[in-house]
A and B are shown apart, each in its own frame.
Chain A
Amino acid sequence: NAGVMQNPRHLVRRRGQEARLRCSPMKGHSHVYWYRQLPEEGLKFMVYLQKENIIDESGMPKERFSAEFPKEGPSILRIQQVVRGDSAAYFCASSLDWNTEAFFGQGTRLTVV
């Protein structure tokens, strides 16, 4: 059973471009979470999704950021018109249910130049 898979591992974008981050949860997991980690800072919650539903997006900026978890395929975190401040590591986690162990991917390190 493969773990949580995130790709790409590293992503470089110029200011104003779009960044698209993918997360495939562990097999059988229908709960997905996205977190952002800035250098030397803790993990900040962004969004919690179940299949085809956004459960909690209270940590996600209102503009430029969106997330989805379609019925088929990976969860996608999309950042439009990236700015330098978006440079960070973005981590995805999945769990079988809302109160079970969460497993994290290796992260996508986004650099905006």
Chain B
Amino acid sequence: KQEVTQIPAALSVPEGENLVLNCSFTDSAIYNLQWFRQDPGKGLTSLLLIQSSQREQTSGRLNASLDKSSGRSTLYIAASQPGDSATYLCAVRVIQGAQKLVFGQGTRLTINP
């Protein structure tokens, strides 16, 4: 059974810092990995999708990497801003079990002005 873990559970940093969020998964049999952000009381916004054959994806100040063999992904946020404060979730699309998305518990990020 696939399990996804995100560390740390919460992170607070001053504005302007670069930071890294971690995601690990137990079964490397995945089709892809997706990073989302969720603001309080809101839905999920897709940030980046990395297919299993890819190593990284970039979108603006965000860069996500994937090491499928070791079961790890990182989300790098450059020059953090208060507007980046949210909960960040990673999810893997599993090969076993009808290709559903399995989510981690999320990292709650606070950027202090």
> A104, B103: Cβ atoms under 8 Å?
no
**A43-B89, A106-B42 given as contacts; is B100 within 8 A of A56 (CB)?**
yes
Main secondary structure of the interface of B (DSSP, over half): strand
A41 CA / B51 CA spacing, docked (Å)? 26
Residues of B within 8 A of A43 (CB): 44, 89, 91, 103
Please report the total number of A residues contacting B with Cβ < 8 Å. 25
Tell me if A42 and B103 are in contact (CB < 8 A): yes
Asked if B93 is at the interface of the complex by the 8 Å CB criterion, the answer is yes
Taking a contact as CB atoms under 8 Å apart, the answer to whether B99 and A104 are in contact is no
**B52 to chain A: closest residue by CB:** A99
A112: chain B residues at CB < 8 Å are none
Q: Check A56 against B89 for contact (C-beta < 8 Å).
A: no
Bound together, the chains give a CA A43 to CA B103 distance in angstroms of: 6
What is the interface of chain A, defined by CB distance below 8 A to chain B?
A: 6, 33, 35, 41-45, 48, 55-56, 58-59, 91, 93, 98-107
A-B contact pairs, 8 of them (CB 8 A): A41-B105, A42-B105, A43-B89, A45-B100, A93-B101, A101-B46, A104-B36, A107-B43
Which residues of B are in contact with A by a Cβ distance under 8 Å?
31-32, 34, 36, 42-46, 49, 51, 89, 91, 93, 97-106
